[in-house]
């Protein structure tokens, strides 16, 4: 189940009317903690993450800084991703359970519940009751506009352990594990433009496949039953 949390009621209504407000990736990199601390990620779209204890070193103007003199991971990113437009949703899912039984039913339900940090994203929540129809509408709109796109779940890595690279556009779908509570699903497009302005993707009215609820009431609405 896909859902989206909004800070402003007007933004929620725009979404219900089929207007996807897609900020640039650099918008999320530049957010200040004091503004919306659960969305800020200055390390968005990092393509390389190298631990100093893995034999890494930094070479600057022929001067080599050995790994033992590096206090934290070396991060490598590309400016070319900054102008991509991103729309973020969340998913109710749990991949910790291979089988659901009477014995673990409550634990399974608890794994689906929203983290309290999600409340910081806004008071208004829209639940997509038919996510496949929504995704198809989005794809059709993007293809009509002849834009490059990619969509899918964000994968999370431990910044204290991970050592390696993320290939190409995969970097836009990787975030540090501290953000894993968001269970994020991303829609990313290349609008072929530069700047700070967002891109408005028109998908058509989606009210018939949506439910609206206050964010702080969503957990109480979730029921899991065995047939």
Question: What's phi and psi for 83, nearest 5 deg?
Answer: -95, 5
**How high is the pLDDT of residue 71?**
74
Report the percent of the chain where pLDDT is more than 90.
64
State yes or no: pLDDT of 123 exceeds 80. yes
Q: What is the mean pLDDT of residues 93-108?
A: 87
For residue 105, give both structure tokens.
């039913």
In a domain, 93, yes or no: yes
pLDDT number for residue 67: 65
Looking at residue 129, its pLDDT comes to 93
Across 31-40, 133-142, 200-209, least confident range: 31-40
14 occurs within a structural domain: yes
In a domain, 60, yes or no: no
Is 158 inside a domain boundary? yes
Strand partners, 150: 188
Taking only the tens place, the pLDDT of each residue in 144-164 is 999 999 999 999 999 999 999
The residue with greater pLDDT, 165 or 53, is 165
Q: What's the number of domains the chain is made of?
A: 1
Note the pLDDT of residue 60: 64
Q: What is the pLDDT of residue 216?
A: 94
Closest by Cα among 117, 130, 125 to 1? 130
| 58 has a pLDDT exceeding 70 | no
The pLDDT of residue 186 is above 60? yes
Is residue 224 scored above 50 in pLDDT? yes
DSSP string, the chain: -EEEEESSHHHHHHHHTTEEEEEEHHHHHH--HHHHTTT--TTTTEEEEE-GGGT--EEETTEEE-GGG--S-EEEE-GGGTT-EEEEEEE----S-SS--TTTHHHHHHHHSPPGGGGGG-SEEEEES-HHHHHHHHHHHHHHTT-EEEEEE-EEE-TTT--EE--GGGGGGEEEGGGGGG-EEEEEEE-S--SS--EEEE----GGGEEEEEGGGHHHH------
Residue at 28 is within a domain: yes
Q: Which residues pair with 23 in a beta bridge?
A: 86
Bridge pairing between strands 155-157 and 174-176: parallel
Does residue 59 form part of some domain? no
Q: What number is the average pLDDT over the span 189-199?
A: 93
Confidence class for position 35, pLDDT limits 50, 70, 90: very low
Residue 174 in domain: yes
Question: In the predicted model, what is the mean pLDDT of residues 83-112?
Answer: 90
Would residue 51 count as lying in a domain?
no
* pLDDT exceeds 60 at position 32: no
Tell me: pLDDT of 34 over 50. no
State residue 61 phi and psi, 5-degree precision.
50, 50
The range of the structural domain enclosing residue 137 comes to 2-45+80-221
Predicted pLDDT of residue 208: 96
CB 157 within 8 A of CB 47: no
Question: How far, in Å, CA of 153 to CA of 159, rounded?
Answer: 19
Indicate if the pLDDT at residue 36 is higher than 80. no
Residue 202 has pLDDT above 80, yes or no: yes
Strand partners, 158: none
For residue 15, what are the CA distances in angstroms to 103, 125, 169, 212, 213?
39, 11, 26, 11, 14
pLDDT for residue 57: 61
Q: What mean pLDDT is predicted for residues 179-200?
A: 94
Is the predicted pLDDT of residue 222 greater than 80, yes or no?
A: yes
């Amino acid at each position: 189940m896909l859902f989206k949390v909004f800070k402003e009621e007007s933004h929620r209504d725009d979404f219900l009317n089929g207007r996807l407000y897609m900020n640039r990736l650099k918008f999320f990199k530049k957010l200040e903690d004091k503004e919306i601390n659960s969305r800020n990620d200055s390390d968005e779209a990092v393509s390389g993450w190298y631990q100093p204890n893995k034999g890494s070193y930094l070479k600057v103007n022929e001067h080599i800084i050995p790994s033992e003199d590096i206090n934290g991971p070396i991060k490598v990113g590309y400016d070319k991703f900054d102008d991509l437009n991103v729309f973020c949703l969340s998913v109710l899912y749990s991949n910790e359970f291979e089988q659901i039984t009477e014995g673990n039913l409550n634990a399974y339900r608890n794994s689906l519940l929203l983290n309290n940090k999600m409340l910081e994203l806004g008071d208004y929540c829209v639940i997509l009751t038919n996510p496949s129809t929504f995704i198809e509408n989005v794809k059709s709109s993007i293809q009509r506009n002849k834009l490059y796109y990619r969509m899918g779940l964000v994968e999370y890595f431990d910044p204290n352990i991970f050592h390696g690279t993320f290939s190409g556009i995969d970097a836009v779908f990787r975030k540090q594990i501290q953000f894993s509570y968001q269970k994020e699903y991303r829609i990313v497009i290349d609008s072929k433009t530069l700047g700070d302005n967002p891109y408005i993707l028109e998908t058509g009215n989606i009210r018939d496949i949506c439910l609206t609820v206050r964010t702080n009431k969503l957990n109480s609405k979730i029921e899991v039953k065995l047939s």
